[in-house]
C-alpha cells in the first residue's frame, strides 16, 4: 500500500473529478493522501476533503509563492491545527525562483511567514511541510534559528517536499532530523543528479509524493497528475536503491505514519 505525502486535491481540476480519483487510488493501492493547504482562503476546502474521506488528511499553511492573500498569524495556524484531521503545518518555506525583479532582501515577508509557520509547528508538535526553491541556504539558516534544536520545547520536525536541491542540502536536512520527499521529477530523463541524491537518502527517511496536479511521473509526464500515480515514483526509488517496489511502499508509508503521527493508520484504510 502506498501513501501520497503531498497533493493538491482542492485545486479545481482535481476536485471536480474526485470520485474518479479516489477510485483510481484504490485500484493503484494508494491507501492515503495528504491534501496540502496553500492559502488560508483555501483551508476550509482542504479540510472538508479530509473530513469527508477517510483516506484523505489535511495540513494548514500558506505557500511562499502566494502573494495578495491573507497573511497567516500564529493564531490562524494554531486554530487550523486544532481542527480534526489536520496533521501538519504547511506548505511553507522559501521560494526565490520567481523574484519578479525584486532582490532577496525584499523577500523578508517570505522569511517572516516561514518563521510564523515554524513557531506554529513547534507549539503544536506537528510536522512542517517545507517547500524550498532557489533558497536552500536561507531555508536551512531560518530552520536552525527557529527550530529549537538545542533549546527548550519541541524541536521542529518535518519534510522537505518535492526535493530538487543538491546532495549537500539533503544531508543538511537529514542532519536536522527532517525527511526528504521525492516527486515525479525523479522519473524525468534529465534528473540524473537528483537520482544520485535519492540514492543517499536512507529508506527510513524517504517519502514519496505526486504534488498533483503538477509533475506527473513518466510515463504520464505532461498530463494532470493524481495520487494514483505515486507508485511510479516508488518504482523509481526502488530501482535507485535496488530494492523491491513493495519494500519502498512499506518503508515510505511507515515513514509517513511516523512523521505525521496524528494520522491513525486504522482509520485511513478504505
Ligand atoms: Zn511546494
Ligand atoms: Zn505543493
Q: Which bound ligand lies closest to the C-alpha atom of 212?
A: 2
Band (264; pLDDT cuts 50, 70, 90)? confident
What Rg value do the Cα atoms of the chain yield, rounded?
17
CA of 130 to the centre of ligand 1 (A): 7
Determine contact, residues 171/200, Cβ cutoff 8 Å. yes
What confidence score (pLDDT) does residue 270 get? 47
Q: In a 3-state reduction of DSSP, which class is residue 129?
A: strand
With 70 as the cut, is the pLDDT of residue 13 above it? yes
Kindly state the cell numbers that stand for 162: 518535492
CA of 236 to the centre of ligand 2 (A): 20
CA of 161 to the centre of ligand 1 (A): 6
Distance of CA 46 to the CA centre of its chain: 14
Q: What percent of the chain has pLDDT over 70?
A: 98
Rounded CA-CA distance 135/64 in Å is 11
CA of 163 to the centre of ligand 1 (A): 9
Rounded CA-CA distance 143/137 in Å is 10
Rounded CA-CA distance 95/92 in Å is 9
Q: Which bound ligand lies closest to the C-alpha atom of 64?
A: 1
CA of 7 to the centre of ligand 2 (A): 6
CA of 117 to the centre of ligand 1 (A): 15
With 60 as the cut, is the pLDDT of residue 256 above it? yes
Taking residues 77-98, what's their average pLDDT? 97
Q: What percent of the chain has pLDDT over 90?
A: 96
Taking residues 39-68, what's their average pLDDT? 97
Number of H helices, E strands in the chain: 11, 8
Taking residues 193-211, what's their average pLDDT? 98
Q: What is the mean pLDDT of the chain?
A: 96
CA of 164 to the centre of ligand 2 (A): 13
Q: Which bound ligand lies closest to the C-alpha atom of 162?
A: 1
Kindly state the cell numbers that stand for 152: 527548550
Taking residues 141-167, what's their average pLDDT? 96
CA of 161 to the centre of ligand 2 (A): 8
With 70 as the cut, is the pLDDT of residue 266 above it? no
Determine contact, residues 205/173, Cβ cutoff 8 Å. no
Kindly state the cell numbers that stand for 167: 546532495
What confidence score (pLDDT) does residue 234 get? 98
* Ion ligand 1: residues, Cβ under 5 Å: 131
Band (265; pLDDT cuts 50, 70, 90)? confident
Condensed to tens digits (0 to 9), the pLDDT of residues 107-143 reads: 999 999 999 999 999 999 999 999 999 999 999 999 9
With 80 as the cut, is the pLDDT of residue 56 above it? yes
Helix axis angle, 108-124 relative to 136-146, nearest 10°? 40
This prediction has a pTM of 0.96
Q: In a 3-state reduction of DSSP, which class is residue 107?
A: helix
CA of 176 to the centre of ligand 2 (A): 22
CA of 211 to the centre of ligand 2 (A): 5
CA of 131 to the centre of ligand 1 (A): 5
Q: What is the phi/psi pair of residue 2, to 5°?
A: -105, 155
Q: What is the phi/psi pair of residue 249, to 5°?
A: -60, -50
CA of 152 to the centre of ligand 2 (A): 31
Taking residues 39-56, what's their average pLDDT? 98
With 90 as the cut, is the pLDDT of residue 46 above it? yes
Band (269; pLDDT cuts 50, 70, 90)? very low
Band (172; pLDDT cuts 50, 70, 90)? very high
Q: In a 3-state reduction of DSSP, which class is residue 21?
A: helix
CA of 93 to the centre of ligand 1 (A): 9
Ordered alpha helix ranges (H), the chain:
12-15, 18-27, 40-52, 74-81, 108-124, 136-146, 167-175, 192-200, 230-241, 245-259, 265-268
Amino acid at each position: 500500500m502506498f501513501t501520497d505525502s503531498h497533493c493538491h486535491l482542492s485545486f479545481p481540476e482535481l476536485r471536480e473529478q474526485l470520485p474518479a480519483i479516489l477510485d483510481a487510488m484504490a485500484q493503484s493501492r494508494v491507501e492515503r493522501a495528504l491534501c496540502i493547504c496553500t492559502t488560508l482562503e483555501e483551508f476550509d476546502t482542504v479540510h472538508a476533503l479530509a473530513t469527508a474521506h477517510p483516506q484523505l488528511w489535511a495540513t494548514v499553511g500558506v505557500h511562499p509563492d502566494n502573494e495578495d492573500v491573507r497573511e497567516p498569524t500564529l493564531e490562524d495556524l494554531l486554530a487550523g491545527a486544532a481542527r480534526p484531521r489536520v496533521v501538519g503545518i504547511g506548505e511553507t518555506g522559501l521560494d526565490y525562483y520567481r523574484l519578479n525583479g525584486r532582490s532577496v532582501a525584499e523577500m523578508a515577508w517570505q522569511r517572516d511567514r516561514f518563521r510564523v509557520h515554524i513557531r506554529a509547528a513547534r507549539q503544536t508538535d506537528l510536522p512542517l511541510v517545507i517547500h524550498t526553491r532557489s533558497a536552500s541556504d536561507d531555508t536551512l539558516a531560518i530552520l536552525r534559528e527557529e527550530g529549537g534544536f538545542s533549546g527548550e520545547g519541541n524541536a521542529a520536525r518535518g519534510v522537505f517536499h518535492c526535493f530538487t536541491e543538491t546532495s549537500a542540502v539533503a544531508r543538511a536536512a537529514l542532519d536536522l532530523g527532517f525527511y526528504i520527499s521525492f516527486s515525479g521529477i525523479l522519473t524525468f530523463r534529465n534528473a540524473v543528479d537528483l537520482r544520485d541524491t535519492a540514492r543517499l537518502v536512507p529508506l527510513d527517511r524517504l517519502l514519496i509524493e505526486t504534488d498533483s496536479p503538477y509533475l506527473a511521473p513518466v510515463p504520464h509526464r505532461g498530463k494532470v497528475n493524481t495520487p494514483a500515480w505515486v507508485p511510479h515514483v516508488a518504482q523509481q526509488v526502488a530501482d535507485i536503491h535496488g530494492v523491491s517496489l513493495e519494500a519502498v511502499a512499506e518503508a515510505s508509508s511507515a515513514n509517513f505514519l511516523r512523521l505525521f503521527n496524528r494520522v491513525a493508520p486504522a482509520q485511513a484504510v478504505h
